[in-house]
Chain A
Amino acid sequence: MKRLLLLVVSLCALSALLAAENRSREQGTIVRMRMADCVAAQHPFMNALSGSNRGPSGDVCPEYVLVTDKVVYVIVGKTSDQLVPLAETTRFHFQNNEVLIRLDDARRESRFHVKEMVLRQTWDRNQQIEEAQAAAAHHRADESSLADAQPELRAARR
Protein backbone atom coordinates (compact mmCIF):
# COMPACT_ATOMS: atom_id res chain seq x y z
CA MET A 1 0.00 0.00 0.00
CA LYS A 2 2.85 2.29 0.93
CA ARG A 3 4.65 1.45 -2.30
CA LEU A 4 1.56 2.13 -4.37
CA LEU A 5 1.11 5.49 -2.73
CA LEU A 6 4.75 6.34 -3.44
CA LEU A 7 4.31 5.38 -7.11
CA VAL A 8 1.20 7.57 -7.46
CA VAL A 9 2.97 10.53 -5.85
CA SER A 10 6.02 10.07 -8.13
CA LEU A 11 3.82 9.90 -11.22
CA CYS A 12 1.99 13.06 -10.20
CA ALA A 13 5.28 14.86 -9.55
CA LEU A 14 6.67 13.73 -12.93
CA SER A 15 3.60 14.88 -14.87
CA ALA A 16 3.64 18.23 -13.04
CA LEU A 17 7.33 18.61 -13.94
CA LEU A 18 6.70 17.82 -17.61
CA ALA A 19 3.76 20.23 -17.73
CA ALA A 20 5.91 22.96 -16.17
CA GLU A 21 8.64 22.33 -18.74
CA ASN A 22 6.15 22.55 -21.60
CA ARG A 23 4.76 25.78 -20.22
CA SER A 24 8.25 27.31 -19.97
CA ARG A 25 9.07 26.34 -23.58
CA GLU A 26 8.36 29.13 -26.05
CA GLN A 27 8.22 29.26 -29.78
CA GLY A 28 9.17 31.82 -32.36
CA THR A 29 10.52 32.31 -35.85
CA ILE A 30 14.05 33.13 -36.90
CA VAL A 31 13.66 35.98 -39.36
CA ARG A 32 17.25 37.13 -39.69
CA MET A 33 20.64 35.53 -39.64
CA ARG A 34 24.15 36.89 -40.07
CA MET A 35 27.70 36.26 -38.97
CA ALA A 36 28.67 38.81 -36.31
CA ASP A 37 31.35 39.30 -33.68
CA CYS A 38 31.16 36.74 -30.93
CA VAL A 39 29.83 38.11 -27.67
CA ALA A 40 32.55 38.57 -25.07
CA ALA A 41 32.19 36.53 -21.92
CA GLN A 42 29.96 37.96 -19.20
CA HIS A 43 32.68 38.52 -16.61
CA PRO A 44 35.47 40.15 -18.56
CA PHE A 45 37.59 40.98 -15.53
CA MET A 46 37.57 37.46 -14.16
CA ASN A 47 38.06 36.02 -17.60
CA ALA A 48 40.91 38.38 -18.32
CA LEU A 49 42.57 37.25 -15.12
CA SER A 50 42.05 33.64 -16.04
CA GLY A 51 43.19 34.32 -19.60
CA SER A 52 40.01 32.96 -21.19
CA ASN A 53 38.50 36.20 -22.52
CA ARG A 54 38.30 35.99 -26.32
CA GLY A 55 36.40 39.22 -26.99
CA PRO A 56 38.82 41.03 -29.31
CA SER A 57 39.97 37.90 -31.15
CA GLY A 58 37.90 38.80 -34.22
CA ASP A 59 35.97 35.50 -34.23
CA VAL A 60 32.57 35.52 -35.87
CA CYS A 61 29.55 33.66 -34.57
CA PRO A 62 26.05 33.21 -36.01
CA GLU A 63 23.59 35.86 -34.85
CA TYR A 64 19.87 35.23 -35.13
CA VAL A 65 16.82 37.44 -34.71
CA LEU A 66 14.16 35.34 -33.04
CA VAL A 67 10.67 36.81 -33.23
CA THR A 68 7.96 35.75 -30.79
CA ASP A 69 4.47 37.13 -30.27
CA LYS A 70 5.52 39.77 -27.78
CA VAL A 71 9.29 39.99 -27.71
CA VAL A 72 12.08 39.89 -30.30
CA TYR A 73 15.41 38.41 -29.20
CA VAL A 74 18.78 38.91 -30.85
CA ILE A 75 20.79 35.85 -29.90
CA VAL A 76 24.42 35.01 -30.66
CA GLY A 77 26.07 31.61 -30.80
CA LYS A 78 29.24 30.83 -28.90
CA THR A 79 31.18 29.32 -31.80
CA SER A 80 31.28 29.97 -35.54
CA ASP A 81 29.72 26.61 -36.40
CA GLN A 82 26.79 26.85 -33.98
CA LEU A 83 24.08 26.79 -36.62
CA VAL A 84 20.42 26.06 -36.00
CA PRO A 85 17.92 24.82 -38.59
CA LEU A 86 15.99 27.73 -40.06
CA ALA A 87 12.60 26.13 -39.63
CA GLU A 88 9.46 28.24 -39.67
CA THR A 89 8.94 27.50 -36.00
CA THR A 90 11.78 27.39 -33.49
CA ARG A 91 11.14 26.06 -29.99
CA PHE A 92 13.31 27.43 -27.21
CA HIS A 93 13.49 28.10 -23.49
CA PHE A 94 15.59 30.11 -21.07
CA GLN A 95 18.17 28.90 -18.63
CA ASN A 96 20.63 31.11 -16.75
CA ASN A 97 20.02 34.09 -19.01
CA GLU A 98 20.71 32.01 -22.09
CA VAL A 99 18.41 30.82 -24.85
CA LEU A 100 18.44 27.09 -25.39
CA ILE A 101 17.25 25.80 -28.76
CA ARG A 102 16.61 22.12 -29.25
CA LEU A 103 17.74 20.85 -32.62
CA ASP A 104 15.23 18.54 -34.25
CA ASP A 105 17.65 15.81 -35.21
CA ALA A 106 19.84 16.03 -32.14
CA ARG A 107 19.05 15.32 -28.51
CA ARG A 108 21.26 18.12 -27.32
CA GLU A 109 20.31 21.75 -27.01
CA SER A 110 22.25 24.64 -28.43
CA ARG A 111 22.99 27.56 -26.06
CA PHE A 112 22.93 31.18 -27.19
CA HIS A 113 23.79 34.47 -25.52
CA VAL A 114 20.97 37.03 -25.55
CA LYS A 115 22.47 40.13 -27.10
CA GLU A 116 19.35 42.25 -27.28
CA MET A 117 15.65 42.13 -26.41
CA VAL A 118 13.04 44.42 -27.99
CA LEU A 119 9.28 44.55 -27.72
CA ARG A 120 7.67 43.10 -30.83
CA GLN A 121 5.67 46.28 -31.48
CA THR A 122 8.81 48.46 -31.38
CA TRP A 123 10.71 46.05 -33.56
CA ASP A 124 7.93 45.97 -36.18
CA ARG A 125 7.88 49.77 -36.29
CA ASN A 126 11.68 49.93 -36.67
CA GLN A 127 11.50 47.44 -39.53
CA GLN A 128 8.92 49.54 -41.34
CA ILE A 129 11.07 52.67 -40.95
CA GLU A 130 14.17 50.82 -42.14
CA GLU A 131 12.37 49.50 -45.20
CA ALA A 132 10.88 52.90 -46.03
CA GLN A 133 14.35 54.47 -45.79
CA ALA A 134 15.84 51.86 -48.13
CA ALA A 135 13.01 52.39 -50.62
CA ALA A 136 13.43 56.18 -50.43
CA ALA A 137 17.20 55.91 -50.97
CA HIS A 138 16.55 53.65 -53.93
CA HIS A 139 14.02 56.10 -55.35
CA ARG A 140 16.44 59.06 -54.92
CA ALA A 141 19.24 57.14 -56.66
CA ASP A 142 16.83 56.24 -59.43
CA GLU A 143 15.81 59.91 -59.88
CA SER A 144 19.41 61.13 -59.96
CA SER A 145 20.44 58.48 -62.50
CA LEU A 146 17.53 59.57 -64.71
CA ALA A 147 18.51 63.23 -64.33
CA ASP A 148 22.12 62.38 -65.22
CA ALA A 149 21.00 60.44 -68.27
CA GLN A 150 18.69 63.15 -69.70
CA PRO A 151 21.33 65.65 -71.00
CA GLU A 152 23.16 62.73 -72.62
CA LEU A 153 19.92 61.54 -74.23
CA ARG A 154 19.17 65.02 -75.55
CA ALA A 155 22.70 65.36 -76.91
CA ALA A 156 22.39 61.97 -78.59
CA ARG A 157 19.12 62.98 -80.21
CA ARG A 158 20.57 66.20 -81.60
Chain B
Amino acid sequence: MARIARTRLHGLILAVSVLRVLVSAASAQTDVAPDLKFRSDVTEVRLTFSTTDIHNHVLATVQPADFAVVDQDRVIHNFKNFSRTEYTRLDIAILIDASNSLTPQFRQEMAQVVELLAQTRGVPDDSVSVVSFQDLKPAVVCEGNCRTLAESQFPVVRSGGLTPLYDSIVFTSRILAGHTDLHARKVLILFSDGMDTISQKSFTDALDSAVDHDIAVYSIDTSKKPHTSQGTSILRSLCVNTGGRYFSMEMGTEQVVDAVLKDFHATYTVAYKLPTQAMGFHQVQIFPTHDLSLQFHCRRGYYYPANPEN
Protein backbone atom coordinates (compact mmCIF):
# COMPACT_ATOMS: atom_id res chain seq x y z
CA MET B 1 0.00 0.00 0.00
CA ALA B 2 2.80 2.36 1.07
CA ARG B 3 4.70 1.37 -2.09
CA ILE B 4 1.77 2.26 -4.30
CA ALA B 5 1.41 5.59 -2.50
CA ARG B 6 5.16 6.30 -2.96
CA THR B 7 4.95 5.43 -6.67
CA ARG B 8 1.95 7.77 -7.09
CA LEU B 9 3.84 10.52 -5.23
CA HIS B 10 6.83 10.08 -7.52
CA GLY B 11 4.50 10.19 -10.52
CA LEU B 12 2.93 13.38 -9.22
CA ILE B 13 6.34 15.00 -8.59
CA LEU B 14 7.44 14.00 -12.10
CA ALA B 15 4.27 15.43 -13.62
CA VAL B 16 4.70 18.70 -11.71
CA SER B 17 8.36 18.96 -12.80
CA VAL B 18 7.44 18.33 -16.44
CA LEU B 19 4.70 20.96 -16.16
CA ARG B 20 7.19 23.44 -14.63
CA VAL B 21 9.66 22.84 -17.45
CA LEU B 22 6.90 23.41 -20.00
CA VAL B 23 5.65 26.58 -18.28
CA SER B 24 9.19 28.01 -18.01
CA ALA B 25 9.79 27.22 -21.70
CA ALA B 26 6.56 28.94 -22.60
CA SER B 27 7.40 31.98 -20.46
CA ALA B 28 10.85 32.13 -22.03
CA GLN B 29 9.13 32.21 -25.40
CA THR B 30 6.83 35.05 -24.34
CA ASP B 31 9.84 37.02 -23.07
CA VAL B 32 11.36 36.82 -26.54
CA ALA B 33 8.15 37.71 -28.34
CA PRO B 34 8.14 41.50 -27.63
CA ASP B 35 11.34 41.92 -29.68
CA LEU B 36 9.56 40.71 -32.78
CA LYS B 37 7.98 43.35 -34.97
CA PHE B 38 5.24 42.53 -37.40
CA ARG B 39 4.73 45.13 -40.05
CA SER B 40 2.10 45.43 -42.70
CA ASP B 41 1.78 48.19 -45.25
CA VAL B 42 -1.26 49.39 -47.10
CA THR B 43 -0.29 49.67 -50.74
CA GLU B 44 -3.59 49.50 -52.55
CA VAL B 45 -6.75 51.59 -52.44
CA ARG B 46 -10.07 50.14 -53.54
CA LEU B 47 -12.89 52.46 -54.49
CA THR B 48 -16.47 51.63 -55.36
CA PHE B 49 -18.43 54.00 -57.59
CA SER B 50 -21.38 54.40 -59.90
CA THR B 51 -21.76 56.75 -62.89
CA THR B 52 -24.59 58.93 -64.17
CA ASP B 53 -24.96 60.91 -67.38
CA ILE B 54 -26.22 64.44 -67.93
CA HIS B 55 -29.84 63.27 -67.49
CA ASN B 56 -28.97 61.61 -64.17
CA HIS B 57 -29.37 58.15 -65.72
CA VAL B 58 -27.09 55.44 -64.41
CA LEU B 59 -24.50 54.25 -66.95
CA ALA B 60 -24.28 50.49 -67.05
CA THR B 61 -21.01 50.36 -68.97
CA VAL B 62 -17.93 52.27 -67.95
CA GLN B 63 -14.37 51.80 -69.16
CA PRO B 64 -11.16 52.60 -67.24
CA ALA B 65 -10.29 55.17 -69.92
CA ASP B 66 -13.45 57.14 -69.07
CA PHE B 67 -12.25 58.43 -65.72
CA ALA B 68 -9.33 59.43 -63.55
CA VAL B 69 -9.18 59.23 -59.76
CA VAL B 70 -7.94 62.24 -57.81
CA ASP B 71 -6.51 61.07 -54.47
CA GLN B 72 -4.95 63.76 -52.25
CA ASP B 73 -4.72 66.07 -55.29
CA ARG B 74 -2.89 63.42 -57.32
CA VAL B 75 -4.41 62.39 -60.61
CA ILE B 76 -4.34 58.63 -61.16
CA HIS B 77 -4.81 56.99 -64.55
CA ASN B 78 -3.05 53.70 -63.94
CA PHE B 79 -5.29 51.24 -62.16
CA LYS B 80 -4.24 47.90 -60.75
CA ASN B 81 -7.69 46.45 -61.17
CA PHE B 82 -11.06 47.51 -62.57
CA SER B 83 -14.16 45.35 -62.42
CA ARG B 84 -17.84 45.27 -61.64
CA THR B 85 -18.42 45.17 -57.91
CA GLU B 86 -19.26 41.75 -56.60
CA TYR B 87 -22.28 42.84 -54.59
CA THR B 88 -24.82 40.08 -54.27
CA ARG B 89 -27.35 41.75 -52.01
CA LEU B 90 -28.57 45.07 -50.70
CA ASP B 91 -28.73 45.95 -47.02
CA ILE B 92 -31.10 48.89 -46.60
CA ALA B 93 -31.87 50.98 -43.54
CA ILE B 94 -34.66 53.56 -43.78
CA LEU B 95 -34.21 56.43 -41.35
CA ILE B 96 -37.36 58.46 -40.67
CA ASP B 97 -37.41 61.96 -39.24
CA ALA B 98 -40.44 61.93 -36.90
CA SER B 99 -39.61 65.23 -35.23
CA ASN B 100 -41.84 68.23 -34.73
CA SER B 101 -40.39 70.16 -37.67
CA LEU B 102 -41.98 67.66 -40.01
CA THR B 103 -45.48 67.56 -38.47
CA PRO B 104 -47.25 69.05 -41.51
CA GLN B 105 -45.61 66.65 -43.96
CA PHE B 106 -45.49 63.62 -41.70
CA ARG B 107 -48.46 61.78 -43.22
CA GLN B 108 -46.97 62.23 -46.67
CA GLU B 109 -43.60 61.05 -45.37
CA MET B 110 -45.17 57.91 -43.84
CA ALA B 111 -47.08 57.19 -47.03
CA GLN B 112 -43.81 57.42 -48.95
CA VAL B 113 -42.04 55.09 -46.51
CA VAL B 114 -44.81 52.48 -46.92
CA GLU B 115 -44.62 52.92 -50.69
CA LEU B 116 -40.84 52.58 -50.56
CA LEU B 117 -41.07 49.37 -48.56
CA ALA B 118 -43.53 47.97 -51.08
CA GLN B 119 -41.21 48.88 -53.94
CA THR B 120 -38.20 47.06 -52.53
CA ARG B 121 -39.39 43.81 -54.03
CA GLY B 122 -36.01 42.92 -55.46
CA VAL B 123 -34.44 43.07 -52.01
CA PRO B 124 -34.41 39.97 -49.75
CA ASP B 125 -36.79 40.00 -46.78
CA ASP B 126 -34.10 40.13 -44.16
CA SER B 127 -32.33 43.21 -45.52
CA VAL B 128 -34.62 46.14 -44.77
CA SER B 129 -34.50 47.89 -41.40
CA VAL B 130 -36.45 50.93 -40.24
CA VAL B 131 -35.22 53.45 -37.66
CA SER B 132 -36.99 56.64 -36.56
CA PHE B 133 -35.82 59.62 -34.56
CA GLN B 134 -37.44 62.28 -32.45
CA ASP B 135 -36.79 63.85 -29.03
CA LEU B 136 -33.42 62.79 -27.68
CA LYS B 137 -32.51 59.58 -29.42
CA PRO B 138 -33.24 57.31 -32.36
CA ALA B 139 -35.25 54.12 -32.00
CA VAL B 140 -35.30 50.95 -34.06
CA VAL B 141 -38.81 50.45 -35.43
CA CYS B 142 -37.86 47.10 -36.86
CA GLU B 143 -34.61 45.43 -37.90
CA GLY B 144 -34.15 43.00 -40.72
CA ASN B 145 -37.52 41.91 -42.00
CA CYS B 146 -39.49 45.15 -42.30
CA ARG B 147 -41.25 44.61 -45.61
CA THR B 148 -44.52 43.72 -43.94
CA LEU B 149 -44.42 46.63 -41.53
CA ALA B 150 -47.91 48.16 -41.14
CA GLU B 151 -48.41 51.93 -41.02
CA SER B 152 -49.83 51.57 -37.50
CA GLN B 153 -46.43 50.38 -36.29
CA PHE B 154 -44.73 53.61 -37.31
CA PRO B 155 -43.86 56.25 -34.72
CA VAL B 156 -46.28 59.04 -33.86
CA VAL B 157 -45.11 62.64 -34.03
CA ARG B 158 -45.22 64.48 -30.73
CA SER B 159 -45.34 68.24 -30.69
CA GLY B 160 -42.23 69.83 -29.23
CA GLY B 161 -40.07 66.92 -30.32
CA LEU B 162 -36.41 67.64 -31.02
CA THR B 163 -34.35 66.47 -34.01
CA PRO B 164 -31.23 64.37 -33.32
CA LEU B 165 -30.43 63.89 -37.02
CA TYR B 166 -26.64 63.42 -36.78
CA ASP B 167 -26.89 61.09 -33.76
CA SER B 168 -29.42 59.03 -35.70
CA ILE B 169 -27.20 58.75 -38.76
CA VAL B 170 -24.33 57.51 -36.57
CA PHE B 171 -26.72 55.10 -34.80
CA THR B 172 -28.11 53.69 -38.05
CA SER B 173 -24.65 53.44 -39.63
CA ARG B 174 -23.59 51.27 -36.70
CA ILE B 175 -26.61 49.01 -37.18
CA LEU B 176 -25.70 48.57 -40.86
CA ALA B 177 -22.04 48.07 -39.97
CA GLY B 178 -23.09 45.28 -37.62
CA HIS B 179 -24.36 43.30 -40.61
CA THR B 180 -21.05 41.87 -41.70
CA ASP B 181 -21.80 40.59 -45.18
CA LEU B 182 -18.89 41.67 -47.38
CA HIS B 183 -20.94 41.26 -50.54
CA ALA B 184 -23.80 43.48 -49.39
CA ARG B 185 -24.08 47.08 -50.55
CA LYS B 186 -25.11 49.11 -47.53
CA VAL B 187 -27.64 51.84 -48.19
CA LEU B 188 -29.18 54.37 -45.84
CA ILE B 189 -32.39 56.00 -47.14
CA LEU B 190 -32.95 59.14 -45.12
CA PHE B 191 -36.32 60.93 -44.91
CA SER B 192 -35.48 64.32 -43.41
CA ASP B 193 -35.46 68.07 -43.92
CA GLY B 194 -31.74 68.06 -43.04
CA MET B 195 -32.17 70.09 -39.85
CA ASP B 196 -30.68 68.99 -36.54
CA THR B 197 -31.49 70.57 -33.17
CA ILE B 198 -30.12 68.35 -30.39
CA SER B 199 -27.43 65.88 -31.52
CA GLN B 200 -24.33 65.25 -29.47
CA LYS B 201 -22.57 64.25 -32.68
CA SER B 202 -21.65 66.74 -35.38
CA PHE B 203 -22.30 66.70 -39.11
CA THR B 204 -18.70 65.54 -39.63
CA ASP B 205 -19.21 62.66 -37.19
CA ALA B 206 -22.33 61.59 -39.07
CA LEU B 207 -20.56 61.80 -42.42
CA ASP B 208 -17.46 59.99 -41.14
CA SER B 209 -19.60 57.25 -39.68
CA ALA B 210 -21.25 56.60 -43.04
CA VAL B 211 -17.97 56.87 -44.96
CA ASP B 212 -16.07 54.61 -42.55
CA HIS B 213 -18.65 51.85 -42.90
CA ASP B 214 -18.97 52.31 -46.67
CA ILE B 215 -22.62 53.28 -46.50
CA ALA B 216 -24.22 55.21 -49.36
CA VAL B 217 -26.77 57.77 -48.17
CA TYR B 218 -29.81 58.44 -50.37
CA SER B 219 -31.80 61.31 -48.94
CA ILE B 220 -35.39 62.31 -49.57
CA ASP B 221 -35.72 65.98 -48.71
CA THR B 222 -38.98 66.56 -46.87
CA SER B 223 -38.60 70.33 -46.48
CA LYS B 224 -41.28 72.55 -47.97
CA LYS B 225 -38.90 74.73 -50.00
CA PRO B 226 -35.98 72.42 -50.76
CA HIS B 227 -34.01 74.86 -52.90
CA THR B 228 -33.76 77.59 -50.29
CA SER B 229 -33.36 75.43 -47.20
CA GLN B 230 -30.08 75.13 -45.31
CA GLY B 231 -31.03 71.53 -44.55
CA THR B 232 -31.06 70.79 -48.27
CA SER B 233 -27.37 71.62 -48.63
CA ILE B 234 -26.64 69.38 -45.63
CA LEU B 235 -28.54 66.50 -47.23
CA ARG B 236 -26.85 67.08 -50.58
CA SER B 237 -23.46 67.08 -48.94
CA LEU B 238 -24.23 63.81 -47.14
CA CYS B 239 -25.26 62.17 -50.40
CA VAL B 240 -22.42 63.48 -52.54
CA ASN B 241 -19.78 62.54 -49.99
CA THR B 242 -21.00 58.99 -49.47
CA GLY B 243 -21.67 58.04 -53.07
CA GLY B 244 -25.45 58.26 -52.66
CA ARG B 245 -27.99 60.60 -54.25
CA TYR B 246 -30.33 63.42 -53.30
CA PHE B 247 -34.06 63.53 -54.08
CA SER B 248 -36.81 65.96 -53.17
CA MET B 249 -40.07 64.56 -51.81
CA GLU B 250 -41.96 65.57 -54.96
CA MET B 251 -39.83 63.25 -57.06
CA GLY B 252 -41.48 60.24 -55.45
CA THR B 253 -40.05 57.06 -54.01
CA GLU B 254 -40.08 55.21 -57.33
CA GLN B 255 -37.09 57.24 -58.52
CA VAL B 256 -35.26 56.59 -55.28
CA VAL B 257 -35.71 52.82 -55.43
CA ASP B 258 -34.86 52.90 -59.11
CA ALA B 259 -31.61 54.74 -58.39
CA VAL B 260 -30.70 52.44 -55.50
CA LEU B 261 -31.26 49.33 -57.62
CA LYS B 262 -29.50 50.74 -60.71
CA ASP B 263 -26.51 51.84 -58.64
CA PHE B 264 -26.46 48.36 -57.11
CA HIS B 265 -26.35 46.69 -60.52
CA ALA B 266 -23.94 49.17 -62.16
CA THR B 267 -21.36 49.64 -59.47
CA TYR B 268 -17.70 49.28 -60.31
CA THR B 269 -14.62 48.82 -58.16
CA VAL B 270 -11.32 50.36 -59.09
CA ALA B 271 -8.05 49.56 -57.31
CA TYR B 272 -4.91 51.65 -57.52
CA LYS B 273 -1.56 51.99 -55.84
CA LEU B 274 -1.54 54.25 -52.79
CA PRO B 275 -0.32 57.55 -54.32
CA THR B 276 1.25 59.00 -51.20
CA GLN B 277 1.99 57.87 -47.67
CA ALA B 278 0.73 61.15 -46.22
CA MET B 279 -1.06 60.26 -43.00
CA GLY B 280 -4.62 61.27 -42.24
CA PHE B 281 -7.66 61.67 -44.41
CA HIS B 282 -7.20 61.13 -48.13
CA GLN B 283 -9.85 62.96 -50.08
CA VAL B 284 -10.93 61.08 -53.19
CA GLN B 285 -12.90 62.18 -56.24
CA ILE B 286 -13.44 60.73 -59.68
CA PHE B 287 -13.45 62.95 -62.76
CA PRO B 288 -14.12 62.23 -66.43
CA THR B 289 -11.25 62.06 -68.89
CA HIS B 290 -13.22 63.19 -71.94
CA ASP B 291 -16.96 63.54 -71.39
CA LEU B 292 -17.48 66.31 -68.84
CA SER B 293 -21.19 65.54 -68.54
CA LEU B 294 -20.47 62.28 -66.69
CA GLN B 295 -20.73 62.28 -62.92
CA PHE B 296 -19.07 59.69 -60.74
CA HIS B 297 -20.52 58.90 -57.32
CA CYS B 298 -18.18 57.49 -54.71
CA ARG B 299 -17.30 57.91 -51.06
CA ARG B 300 -15.37 61.10 -50.34
CA GLY B 301 -12.21 59.42 -49.09
CA TYR B 302 -10.52 57.20 -46.57
CA TYR B 303 -8.19 57.42 -43.60
CA TYR B 304 -4.59 56.38 -44.05
CA PRO B 305 -3.45 55.68 -40.50
CA ALA B 306 -0.02 56.18 -38.97
CA ASN B 307 -0.03 52.48 -38.24
CA PRO B 308 -1.89 50.65 -41.04
CA GLU B 309 -2.78 47.84 -38.62
CA ASN B 310 -5.16 50.30 -36.96
Contact = CB atoms under 8 A, between A and B. Distances in A.
A39 B226 CA distance: 33
Task: Say which size band chain B's interface belongs to.
Answer: 20 to 34
A145 interface: yes
A88 B77 contact: yes
B39 A86 contact: no
B289 A88 contact: yes
Given A86-B287, A135-B277, A146 B37 contact: yes
B291 A33 contact: no
Given A33-B75, A146-B37, A146-B307, A86 B277 contact: no
B153 interface: no
A157 B279 contact: no
A153 interface: yes
B73 A33 contact: yes
Given A32-B75, A138-B306, A87 B277 contact: no
B74 A134 contact: no
A158 B307 CA distance: 25
B83 interface: no
Contacts of A87: 68, 289-290
Task: Say which size band chain A's interface belongs to.
Answer: 20 to 34
Interface in B69-107: 70, 73-75, 77
B255 interface: no
B1 interface: no
Nearest to A139: B277
Interface in B268-310: 276-279, 287-292, 306-307, 310
Interface in A5-59: 30-34
Given A32-B75, A33-B73, A138-B277, A86 B68 contact: yes
Interface in A133-158: 134-135, 137-138, 141-142, 144-146, 150, 153-154, 157
Contact of B288 (A85, A137, A146): A85
A65 B309 CA distance: 33
Contacts of A138: 277-279, 306
B276 A134 contact: yes
B277 A157 contact: no
B73 A83 contact: no
A157 to B, nearest CB: 5
Contacts of A34: 70, 73
Nearest to A32: B73
B30 interface: yes
Interface of B: 30, 33-34, 37, 39, 67-68, 70, 73-75, 77, 276-279, 287-292, 306-307, 310
22 contacts: A31-B75, A32-B73, A34-B70, A83-B287, A86-B67, A86-B75, A87-B289, A88-B289, A131-B277, A134-B276, A134-B277, A134-B278, A134-B279, A137-B277, A137-B279, A142-B39, A145-B307, A150-B34, A153-B34, A154-B34, A157-B33, A157-B34
